[in-house]
Amino acid sequence: MIRKIINANVYLSHKVDSILPESYQIEGYSDFSNKVLEKYITKNSTIYDVGGGKQPHVASDLKKKLSLSVIGLDINENELRQAPKDSYDRAIAADITEYKGQGDADLVICKALLEHVQDTRKAIISLASIIKKEGKILIFVPSRNAIFARLNLIIPEALKKKILFSIFPQTTYAQGFKAYYDRCTPKTMRKIVKDCGLEVLEFKPYFKSGYFSFFFPFHLLWRIYVVCFRLLAGDNAAETFTMVIGKK
Residue-wise pLDDT tens digits, 115-173: 999 999 999 999 999 999 999 999 999 999 999 898 888 776 665 555 555 555 544 44
Residue-wise pLDDT tens digits, 197-240: 999 999 999 999 878 888 899 899 999 999 999 999 999 999 99
**pLDDT surpasses 50 at 97:** yes
pLDDT at 2: 75
d(CA 8, CA 13): 9
Give percent of the chain above pLDDT 70.
92
Domain containing 215 — which CATH number? 3.40.50.150
* Domain count along the chain: 1
pLDDT at 209: 86
pLDDT at 172: 44
Which domain, by its residues, includes 62? 2-247
Residue-wise pLDDT tens digits, 16-63: 999 999 999 999 999 999 999 999 999 999 999 999 999 999 999 999
